[in-house]
A and B are shown apart, each in its own frame.
Chain A
């Protein structure tokens, strides 16, 4: 039972409540850095570290933090973790850090992270909060990666820097430029809408069949 509960919290973030595709949160950093798959993964890892770390701390201190100033406390905790992530990336992978540039500090303003603290970590025990954070971060990373991969493949004809097509491939430059981010995410959301629409239709059909059968 207990194991199921944690598992449930983990899985819901990846698909059913996917932060980007379903809840449309945390868009600001995500569109800006997803012009290649490797940047998308670095951003995803940094966000995951921040989200899991701050969810853990917030959940541990959830009885100590006064209700009135909770948002400010959350923000300071998040900002601390973001600073750690920023300096770690600078030390380990300076090249990626340079490309992501100002968008690492901007993780602070990612509404997804603050939203999880407010909606989940500050109300549930630590174990569940960490599982929830892992799931949400996993879903965020999945979204970042799919967007980054699509944009790199179409805009550069490559994935992780490996050429995928022959010499004759003409890259769609627009996909790695800002408009490509909006368009790709728009099309992916369209696909999710279609999926939901079909599922509702199917469920309605099943209900109809059951009613006529009984």
Chain B
């Protein structure tokens, strides 16, 4: 249990899903044009990640010991349907929350960060609590990266940028610089 904080900070900063593992780049580059949207997307992603961690743990413990080669197919089908189910549930129970996460929920299910989370957690043999902490760290890390990029993009819209570099090329270079900044966090754990 002592390694829980480590797992959290590692997923949040040192091994940030977007900036170090390149997972979830499609929403990262596609949706990050306004701060508000990206914060909401981040919230929804964190939520789906938590659901994923629970699903992955249940599948790994009870089903997949007998058939490891079905892992990928199982993960996709179960996670996608669970998220759909929860989406309907939230719509019924709390329309306000549904409006906040809204259309993002079904879209996120096919995001590679979600599947990546399930696979990484399995490969590292995380238990139930560890998996949840890992998902929380990864989700908040994803939100952090998304909000940072959205902030930079909003600023850059106000400045005079050559036409040639606008668009994806610039976003990638900004992401590269952000990623370099996050590399700095790798030093956090070198002594331990």
Contact = CB atoms under 8 A, between A and B. Distances in A.
Co-assembled chains A and B: yes
Interface of A: 24, 27-29, 31-32, 72, 75-76, 79-80, 82-83, 86-87, 101-102, 105-106, 108-111, 114, 174, 177-183, 185-187, 189-190, 193-194, 197
A27 B113 CA distance: 12
Contacts of A27: 22, 25-26, 29
A181 B176 CA distance: 7
B69 interface: yes
A86 B171 CA distance: 32
B169 A28 contact: no
Contacts, number: 114
B169 A186 contact: yes
Interface string B47-88: 000000000000000000000011111001100100000000
Contacts of B176: 179-183, 186
A179 B115 CA distance: 23
A113 to B, nearest CB: 11
Contact of B183 (A24, A76, A80, A178): A178
B177 A179 contact: yes
A178 B22 contact: yes
Nearest to B172: A186
Contact of B180 (A80, A102, A174): A174
Contacts of A189: 168-169, 172
* Chain A to chain B: the 8 pairs with minimum beta-carbon distance, closest first: A182-B176, A109-B112, A186-B172, A186-B173, A183-B176, A189-B169, A179-B179, A31-B22
A79 B79 CA distance: 14
Interface stretch (B91-99, B116-124, B136-144, B153-161): B116-124
Nearest to A196: B164
Contacts of A31: 22, 25
Give the secondary structure class of B's interface: helix
B115 A182 contact: no
Given A28-B23, A76-B76, 9 more contacts: A27-B25, A27-B26, A76-B73, A105-B115, A109-B115, A178-B22, A182-B179, A183-B176, A185-B172
B24 interface: yes
Contacts of A190: 164-165, 169
Interface string B11-48: 00000000111111110010000000000000000000
B167 interface: yes
A105 B119 contact: yes
B77 A76 contact: yes
B73 A193 contact: no
B170 interface: yes
Given A110-B112, A197-B164, A82 B24 contact: no
